[in-house]
Amino acid sequence: MMKNNLKSIISDLSKKQFTNTFNPYKDICDLYDVHTANKIRLENLKLYLEYFSTLDSIDLWIGRDLGYKGGRRTGIPFTSENNINSLNSKLNLNLQIVSKEKNLSSEVSANTIWTMYEKLPKNIFFWNIFPFHPYEKDNQQSNRKYNRLEEEFGIYILTKLINSLNISRIICIGNDSFESIKKLDIPDHMIQHHVRHPSYGGVNIFKNKISEIYNLTDKAQYDLFDL
């Protein structure tokens, strides 16, 4: 059974709306979603949170916000539709895909993150500073950084999550999440790592840093274009 504090987070997420923002737990995309997609994504999130509520030690991987090919479609950060079955297998869940399209969404950054995540323990919890998908005006198939009001809401939700789950350490994926998380009142020892985001030529630096953090032996070689 879900804890009351997590139920409160689910409730907050299912009701909030911002301009030029897609809330996957409230909104439906006319292009790609089945007609009950928002309810299914909300149920997926509940199952995801319930799993992590049972763990004694969690590594929180925190990104910026949901992308239009990734979390917007699935409701799970760093996870495209083509990653859902792998997530189900890894955590023994039954998350549903909500697309009415035959071709599942596939986000390059999410796939890069998954190449590492599949080698790692089950206690890694994906989240973002802003839990929705912000997009450029009149173009929902685009990404933009969250604004101040969106960041404030994200920090409010993230604070509740940290207080509700047994977070042992936080790994920031990208500069934006690293800068925003400094605004939270959390112990310094929890923010242990700042990892370059894999986008814009950062793939090998991302992989090498994650390999270092988790003591993996198959570290990639740095690409000169990443430096």
- Per residue, what are the HEC states of 160-204? HHHHHCCEEEEEEECHHHHHHHCCCCCCHHHEEEEECCCCCCCHH
pLDDT of residue 218: 62
9 falls within a domain: no
Residue 156 lies in a domain: no
Please give the mean pLDDT across all residues of the chain.
93
Q: Rounded mean pLDDT of 181-210?
A: 89
Residue 145 within a domain: no
pLDDT score recorded for residue 227: 35
Residue 12 within any structural domain of the chain: no
* Pick from 202, 208, 209, 207: nearest CA to 226: 202
Task: Over range 78-90, report the average pLDDT.
Answer: 97
Per-residue pLDDT, 189: 76
User: How far is Cα 128 from Cα 176, in angstroms, rounded to an integer?
Assistant: 10
Judge whether residue 62 has pLDDT over 90.
yes
Q: What is the mean pLDDT of residues 199-215?
A: 94
| Residue 11 included in any domain | no
Inter-residue contact 44 to 14 (CB < 8 Å): no
d(CA 110, CA 120): 15
Does residue 4 belong to any structural domain of this protein? Answer: no
> Would 85 be classed as within a structural domain?
yes
pLDDT band for position 1 (50/70/90)?
A: low
For residue 200, the model assigns a pLDDT of 83
Residue 224, pLDDT score: 38
Domain assignment of residue 183, given as a range: 17-140+162-226
Stronger pLDDT, 113 or 1, i.e. the higher one: 113
Predicted pLDDT at 117: 97
Say how far apart CA 39 and CA 84 lie, in whole Å.
Answer: 17
Closest of 19, 13, 158 to residue 75, by C-alpha: 13
The enclosing domain of 193 has a CATH number of 3.40.470.10
In the predicted structure, residue 219 carries a pLDDT above the cut 60? no
Question: Looking at residue 19, what is its pLDDT?
Answer: 98
Q: Rounded to whole angstroms, how far apart are CA atoms 90 and 40? A: 20
Residue 195 belongs to some domain of the structure: yes
- Count structural domains, the chain: 1
The average pLDDT across 169-195 equals 90
Task: State pLDDT tens for residues 101-134.
Answer: 888 999 999 999 999 999 999 999 999 999 999 9
Highest-confidence segment of 61-70, 101-110, 178-187: 61-70
